[in-house]
Structure 1
Amino acid sequence: MAYNESIAKRIREQLKLFPEDFTEKKMFGGLSFLYEGKMTVGIIKGDLAVRVVAAKMDSELAKPTVRPMDFTKRPMKEFIYVSEDGFKTEAQLLHYIDLGLEHAKSKLK
């Protein structure tokens, strides 16, 4: 499995702050955290993979630590990668978890 276990531990700790239940699944060669079967955030090597609602993609992609998720060599719709410099603090990590949860909930409506 190609993901950073210390990042997984940080995510697990942050997810305890949410009333929602999350599951873990191996995806994209890493580890993903799902809400109601929908991916929220994941880890691929040392990067976060985050689902983002379309309306927030441009503002997230404008950040220097964020890039399109190009797992298939083409940008994937509503997915971003965040380098480790982009989630050094727990507040930054929580921001990306919130974005991913928002996306998952938007797909359940």
Structure 2
Amino acid sequence: MVSYDEELADRVEDLLGVRRDAIPKRMFGGIAWLVNGNMAVVVRSKGGLMVRVSPDDHDDLLAEPGAATTVMRGHPMRGWITVSPEACTAPSDVAAWVDRGLSYALSLPPK
């Protein structure tokens, strides 16, 4: 049984699946894409996306519609943005968030 938005996952796969270095993996009840071993973007089980971003850009990105700091086990995660399902309806918005996650993951050393 799939517990995440399969349509959103298909849209992310369309954007990242063309890359040999982007590997999908079931995580957090959703599906994550790792690039060179670094997590870039997750389709969340609760809907929407979780996107890895530069901690330096974190606060500025919170101004984007539907963006919030990711909280895991009660702790805010600087460098991770949760994007609401409502902010993931337009293909251009999804592409922009996926690009942000990809760009940051590519800036990190491979694992």
* Structure 1, unpaired ranges of 5+: none
User: Partner amino acid for 2:81?
Assistant: I
User: Partner amino acid for 2:21?
Assistant: D
Q: Secondary structure at the match of 2:68?
A: strand
Aligned to 1:95: 96
Aligned to 1:23: 23
Aligned to 1:11: 12
Q: 1:92 to 1:64 in 2, by over 3 A?
A: closer
Runs of 4+ displaced beyond 6 Å: none
User: Partner amino acid for 1:39?
Assistant: M
Could you list the per-position Cα deviations for residues 36-78 of structure 1 after superposition, in whole angstroms to 9, with x for gaps in the alignment? 0111111112120100012211111122401111122111121
Give 1 or 2: higher strand fraction: 2
Q: Aligned partners of 1:61 and 1:92: how far apart in 2?
A: 14
Aligned to 1:32: 32
> What do you get for the CA RMSD once the two structures are aligned?
1.7
Q: Aligned partners of 1:99 and 1:20: how far apart in 2?
A: 18
Q: Aligned partners of 2:50 and 2:107: how far apart in 1?
A: 18
Aligned to 1:77: 78
Could you list the per-position Cα deviations for residues 10-31 of structure 1 after superposition, in whole angstroms to 9, with x for gaps in the alignment? 1111224x55531011112211
In the TM superposition, what are the counterparts of 1:34-73 in structure 2 within 5 Å? 34-45=34-45, 46-73=47-74
- Contact 2:48 2:88 survives alignment (8 Å): no
Give 1 or 2: higher helix fraction: 1
CA apart distance, 1:3: 1.2
User: Partner amino acid for 2:75?
Assistant: R
What TM-score, normalized by structure 2, do the two folds share? 0.86
Q: Aligned partners of 1:64 and 1:7: how far apart in 2?
A: 17
- Contact 2:38 2:105 survives alignment (8 Å): yes
